[in-house]
Each structure stands twice: as C-alpha cells, then as structure tokens.
Amino acid sequence: MRLLIMGPQGVGKGTQAAALSKHFGIPTISTGDIFRYNLKNKTELGLQAQSYIDKGQLVPDELTNRIVEDRLAQRDAKGGWILDGYPRNASQVEALDSMMATAGTELDYVVALQADRTVLLERMRKRAEEEGRSDDTPEAIATRLDTYERETAPLLETYGSRGKLVSVNGVGSIESISHEIIAALETA
C-alpha cells in the first residue's frame, strides 16, 4: 500500500503514520526524518540541503524531490510506504506523480486528518512544554498553520478529485483515530 498522510501541524500525522506502518507492515517516510538522516550522515544531498538551511532558507522543491525519490527507491519501500510531510505543494504533487509513473506504481490513498485550529494550537503548546521544542513558539506555530492552509490544504482537493482522499477526524483517542483510518482504508 502506498499512502500519503496529510494534515496541519499538530494533528497527529506522525503518531498515526506509526500505527499505520505497524498495521500494514510498510515504512513511514517522513521528509523531516529524511533531511535529518542526510544531514547527520553528510550525504551529498544532505550537504546541499545544509547550504540552504544554514542561510535560513527553505530547501528548494527540486532538492526535496530528489531526496524523496532516493528514499522511495530503497529496498524497504519497494512493497509500499507512508509519506508524512510530502508533498507540501502542487509542484511536489507533480514530482511524486512522475516518480510513481517511472516506478510503475500508483498512490493508493491520501489520509487527511482534520482538526480545528484551536485544538492544534493547544496540542502544539503542550508539545512545546513536554518536549522542549524551540520551534513551537506561538508565532512559529501560527506561521506553519497559515502556510499549510495556503499551500498544502488545496492539495486535498486535487487528491479528492482523483478519488484517493480518505478524511478522518483527528480529534479523539489515538486508538480510535487509528481504527477509523484503518476501517476507512480497508473499505475504500
């Protein structure tokens, strides 16, 4: 199974991706994890990404796409995967479509987790307190949520028009949300 898990920051994508990974026996591929791996191991792609990060810039789509393509080509991803954090914009959707066409595969579903902004803000405030995350300031949170609404949320319409979208309420217990996602995927 090849899945995307999408939703705004704080909605629980990583938590649910881990549960889906275990249930379906496929790896979760997080672009954040990919960047951290490539940076830590000083790969060619990591060094290129570092040059942008050091300047406080976003890593360009072209480089992000190459990093994702490299990860999807690894052995553990041959039987399926869950992408978390990618694609984030229309250009990345086109790149992912091209990668899958080249590989002779196709996307099965896009799981969209939904939650009200007030819930997300509270979750991220708690996460910042519990994990000491410096990137979860109120200003940074608001900026990330605004960016999601502007650039990523419209992609849900794209995937909905392709008949690939499964929307799930991201509020509730972790287990109940996982069960709802799995049931929706198995009956879709």
pLDDT tens digits, 54-99: 776 778 899 899 889 989 999 999 999 999 989 999 999 999 999 9
The question of whether 88 is a catalytic residue gets the answer yes
Q: Give the burial class of 95: count Cβ atoms within 10 A of its Cβ; 0-12 exposed, 13-18 middle, 19 or more buried.
A: buried
- Whether residue 6 contacts residue 86, with contact meaning beta carbons closer than 8 Å, is answered with no
User: At residue 147, does pLDDT exceed 70?
Assistant: yes
The question of whether 133 is a catalytic residue gets the answer yes
* Euclidean distance between CA atoms 18 and 26, whole angstroms: 10
The question of whether 71 is a catalytic residue gets the answer no
Query: 36, 126, 133, 150: which is the annotated catalytic residue?
Result: 133
Predicted structure pTM score: 0.88
The question of whether 78 is a catalytic residue gets the answer no
Assigned CATH class of 2-187: alpha beta
The question of whether 55 is a catalytic residue gets the answer no
Query: 13, 71, 123, 164: which is the annotated catalytic residue?
Result: 13
The per-residue pLDDT of the chain, averaged, comes to 91
- Whether residue 181 contacts residue 110, with contact meaning beta carbons closer than 8 Å, is answered with no
Whole-number pLDDT of residue 21: 97
Digit-coded pLDDT (tens) for 113-143 = 999 999 998 888 888 888 876 666 788 788 8
Domain residue spans of the chain = 2-187
- Whether residue 52 contacts residue 61, with contact meaning beta carbons closer than 8 Å, is answered with no
Enumerate the H helices of the chain as residue ranges.
Answer: 13-24, 31-40, 44-53, 61-72, 90-103, 117-131, 138-147, 153-161, 174-187
